[in-house]
């Protein structure tokens, strides 16, 4: 497989959007999230549609490059069959050291992934690259615009040389993964020499320097986790090395289903818990089920299966569970 498999006329497609002024391509605004203001970037429909199409080709090429460079095991964000859960499961049986890249997308420059885009469209050159840059780069930061359909894959493509270089300079039993801006280390077997924050920090910066990438670590978010309960990209790992939702989520689910076993008014209860719809509630619980390796979420649902049936919640799963049990 080569890059022509994923080829796209990127320049020609980008030129088709030249009628849209630069400052109208993306609506940029702030929303409050957990008491903090967060930047949101919303591409105009024409641009969003185009970038979704580009993302198919770019992600296919990204997967190919991960495989050819031997670092498919490192990347877990914005890829088929990869998630925060697969990222966490790579680090079940050892202490963990975690790093966070500061201003991750802001630091991801066009030059870091320009070569990858040229592999998809060889017509890209220094004279016409601005036609594409205006669609991808935030003029306020000089880095890739966060939240675009292609942002994750472009950032990943940028990091491949760094991952290759870093892996070469780590002990054989040290493993690391990256999910967006989170870089996580663990090990197998005996504790390797140099498995400390200072020494891993040095190796990270050495690899970044050697590959010409100007990313920075956020020292305030660097941490070591050795306790029975660890957390990787928001997923908890318990003392049995199983991935689980938080205690708070378990308690919420048990309480919610108990209330629903007594209440006939689903909409009223959902509103009191801050859910805009039944779909939002089902989505939260489905996510909890997807990361729960203990079966505890399923057991809670089965305990309150009558309430779930009464409110038409998780009935397909409950029915299939009983069907499997009958033929077990």
**Which segment of 7-16, 19-28, 31-40, 201-210 scores lowest on mean pLDDT?**
31-40
Q: Do residues 235 and 226 make contact, with C-beta atoms less than 8 angstroms apart?
A: no
- Per-residue pLDDT, averaged over 287-306, amounts to 91
- 102 CB contacts (<8 Å, ≥6 apart)? 215, 216, 217, 218
Q: What pLDDT does residue 34 have?
A: 65
Q: What is the mean pLDDT of the chain?
A: 91
Is residue 324 pLDDT above 60, yes or no? no
Q: What pLDDT does residue 258 have?
A: 94
Q: How confident is the model at residue 123 (pLDDT cuts 50, 70, 90)?
A: very high
CA distance 293 to 92: 12
Q: What pLDDT does residue 327 have?
A: 45
Strands 96-102 and 174-179: unpaired
CA 309 to chain centre: 33
Q: What pLDDT does residue 328 have?
A: 41
Q: How confident is the model at residue 135 (pLDDT cuts 50, 70, 90)?
A: very high
Q: How confident is the model at residue 71 (pLDDT cuts 50, 70, 90)?
A: very high
- Per-residue pLDDT, averaged over 20-32, amounts to 89
């Amino acid at each position: 497989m080569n890059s022509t498999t994923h080829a796209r006329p990127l320049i020609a497609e980008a030129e088709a959007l030249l009628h849209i002024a630069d400052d109208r391509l993306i609506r940029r605004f702030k929303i409050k999230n957990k008491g903090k203001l967060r930047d949101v970037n919303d591409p105009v429909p024409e641009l969003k549609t185009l970038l979704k199409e580009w993302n198919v080709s770019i992600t296919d090429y990204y997967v190919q490059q991960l495989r050819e460079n031997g670092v498919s095991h490192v990347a877990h964000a914005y890829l088929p069959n990869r998630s925060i859960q697969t990222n966490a499961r790579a680090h079940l049986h050892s202490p963990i050291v975690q790093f966070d890249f500061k201003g991750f997308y802001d630091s991801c420059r066009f030059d870091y992934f320009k070569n990858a885009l040229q592999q998809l469209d060889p017509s890209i050159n220094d004279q016409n690259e601005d036609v594409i840059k205006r669609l991808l780069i935030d003029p306020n930061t000089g880095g890739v615009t966060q939240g675009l359909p292609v942002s994750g894959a472009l950032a990943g493509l940028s990091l491949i040389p760094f991952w290759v270089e870093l892996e070469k300079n780590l002990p054989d039993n040290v493993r690391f993964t990256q999910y967006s801006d989170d870089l996580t280390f663990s090990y197998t077997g005996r504790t390797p020499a140099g498995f400390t924050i200072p020494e891993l920090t040095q190796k990270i910066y050495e690899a970044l320097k050697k590959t010409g990438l100007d990313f920075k670590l956020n020292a305030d978010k660097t941490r070591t986790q050795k306790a029975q309960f660890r957390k990787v990209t928001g997923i908890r790992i318990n003392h049995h090395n199983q991935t689980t939702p938080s205690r708070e989520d378990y308690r919420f689910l048990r309480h919610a289903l108990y209330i629903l076993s007594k209440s006939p008014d689903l909409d009223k209860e959902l509103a009191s818990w801050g859910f805009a719809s039944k779909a939002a509630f089902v989505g939260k619980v489905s996510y909890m089920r997807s990361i729960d390796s203990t079966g505890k979420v399923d057991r809670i649902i089965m305990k309150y299966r009558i309430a779930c049936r009464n409110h038409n919640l998780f009935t397909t799963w409950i029915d299939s569970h009983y069907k499997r049990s009958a033929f077990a």
